[in-house]
Amino acid sequence: MSRFIKHLSDFFAVTDDDDDFELPLDESGKLIRPIGTVRAVEHSFKTRSAGQGSPTGSPQQTEVLPLDDESRALLEIAKAVRDKAYAKYSGFHVGAVLVAASGQVYPGVNMENASYPAGLCAERAAFAAAITAGEREFSAIAIIGSDDDAPCYPCGICRQVMAEFCPPEFPVILSDGVYSLGSLLPHSFEL
């Protein structure tokens, strides 16, 4: 079992009533590549640009994939890490779990600061940890906010950071389903 996974066993202590929850690990102790089964099947991500099929130019509509067992497992990990967030000012705790193509997971939490712009979102914290470890390719990210039932959509800055490293079909797992990054950020900035 890798040192990182051993460390995660303490870090991701699940606090829910579900005592049967276990991280999906392979024989070597590495996290089984989440969302792999979803990516192996044909997805039905579809977007409709504002104005298409709507006389009022309604906001973009997105078809969302339902959560599967692997997606739910990642959300449980994000819930566990969320408790470590530093949200002294807003009280809004966010946990994120980024999965690298290597199968390694990188947690992140939001970190607020009295000087508000110095704060950091959970998603960017997870990406910073992964990039620091040398990762450059990613399989999925799961994000959970203070309310387990309400989807915690990533902010615009986090969406743009994801677009720097991930293709439009990159899965973004929220409490109500699996979105494609391209549907959440249809017009990312590029140089």
22 assigned to active site:
no
**Catalytic residue selected from 70, 76, 112, 123:** 123
CB contact at 8 A, 142 and 96: yes
User: Bridge-partner residues for 174, per DSSP?
Assistant: 177
Structure tokens at 150: 């309400």
- Alpha carbon separation from 184 to 10, 68, 84, 105 (Å, rounded): 33, 20, 26, 22
Q: Which residues are catalytic?
A: 123
